[in-house]
Amino acid sequence: MPVSEPRLKTVYWTVTRECNQRCSHCWISAGTRREGELNTEESLQIFNVMVDMGLEQVKLTGGEPLLQWKKINTVMEFLIDHGVQPRIETNATLIQDAYGEEILSFLEKNHVHVAVSLDSHIPQQHDQFRGMKGGFEKTLSALTSMRSHNISFSIVTVLHRENRATIDEIVDFVREIYPRHHQINIITPEGRAENNDRYQLPIESYVEDLPLLIKKIRKKMGEKVSFAIPYVFAPLNTRFLNCTVGKEICGLLPNGDIAMCGAGINREDLVLGNALRDDIEDIWLHSPVFMTLRRGITSLKGVCSNCWFAQYCMGHCRAYAYSVYGQLEAPYPMCQTVYEQGAFPEKYLVHPERDCSYVPPEG
């Protein structure tokens, strides 16, 4: 059966909103399981269609996907049998629980890569940020088990106001765990983080602090550590990675909704259809949102319209920009906020004299 172009190569599957932690930065406010989440049969039905569309990889995330181990185990077996590689994002605390050995054996046997959240080398700080007493020890124990089973894993750390002073120590601590990679993210102010100023980095940190911090860590660690931030706040020698949502990636939400990525979980207008009720291939090929993203957004608004880096980053995360401003062409919110506060580096403005204020469309 011929595959239509462009192929749907990767799906970001938000398996569930259920989670055993209550992270301060969680942009989907994960916690309690909601009604209407896909069951095993429905999940298999959806992925059976997606396999025929050229699917190559599925990222399972949440919430905490391991809370639904029986379901995702069956789905991953199906994917692997059809040549699709799964990978998992998890806090890893459940790997030491009832299904621990079964999980470890499956991951080892099928070469499934695991991205594990670890936000501090200080147990109390990690546990407080993630809302789980004893979480640090459980995660470290799981990482030890994964290493002994030769399971490929990476570490994901959220950089915030309370761990900024020790980020060098965190990087050194993580290095001794021997992950394949260490990614450092910043907080997206949505969900539980939307009105939580306790952990947000101050605006001046992005301009004055982050470039120097990244340069220092990259000098020591090379490509083993990466930062997921807009290019304007990174050293010029940072390797640029572009988001391919809409070009080869889409999101699948817990109830079967199809979205740009996981961001559709917070805004109904980012949902482009439902994989149980609608034609998945038609959504992928003909959704106006996906078609716009494929063509490339050439008319970015606000400060992004006047930034030297726009041709590379294309406004960074379009899903987050749309979630905040309701417009695909909207500026990236962090960059616009920095500009509005007069802190955007003038040297990166194509026309420094131009007013780059932005007013979102009404409604």
* Separation CA 287–CA 51 (nearest Å): 19
In our burial notation (b when 16+ CB lie closer than 10 A, e otherwise), range 318-349 reads: bbbbbbbbeebbbbbbbbbbbbbeeebbeebb
Where does 229-339 show beta strands of DSSP type E? 249-252, 257-259, 271-274
* Separation CA 300–CA 88 (nearest Å): 33
Between the alpha carbon of residue 197 and those of residues 156, 160, 161, 353, the distances in Å are 21, 10, 9, 32
Q: What's the N-to-C CA distance of the chain in angstroms?
A: 43
Which tokens hold the place of 85? 């590689």
Using only the alpha carbons of the chain, give its radius of gyration.
Answer: 20
Q: Dihedral angle at the C-alpha atoms of 216, 234, 171, 18, nearest 10 degrees?
A: 170
Per-residue model confidence (pLDDT) at position 353: 96
Q: What average pLDDT is seen over the chain?
A: 92
Q: Kindly report the pTM of this predicted structure.
A: 0.93
Between the alpha carbon of residue 322 and those of residues 202, 264, 319, the distances in Å are 23, 10, 5
* Separation CA 68–CA 190 (nearest Å): 25
Tens of pLDDT, residue by residue over 311-328, are: 888 888 888 888 889 888
Per-residue model confidence (pLDDT) at position 241: 64
* pLDDT tens, per residue, the chain with 363 residues: 567 789 999 999 999 999 999 999 998 888 889 899 999 999 999 999 999 999 999 999 999 999 999 999 999 999 999 999 999 999 999 998 778 999 999 999 999 999 999 999 999 999 999 999 999 999 999 999 999 999 999 999 999 999 999 999 999 999 999 999 999 998 888 888 887 788 989 888 888 888 899 999 989 998 899 988 888 888 776 665 667 888 899 999 999 999 988 777 777 888 999 999 999 999 999 999 888 888 777 789 999 999 999 888 888 888 888 888 988 899 999 999 999 999 999 999 999 999 999 999 876
The residue count for the chain = 363
Per-residue model confidence (pLDDT) at position 56: 98
**Strand 225-228 relative to strand 249-252, pairing:** unpaired
Per-residue model confidence (pLDDT) at position 1: 58
**Strand 113-117 relative to strand 257-259, pairing:** unpaired
Tokens 């050995």 sit at which residue? 101
* Separation CA 3–CA 54 (nearest Å): 6
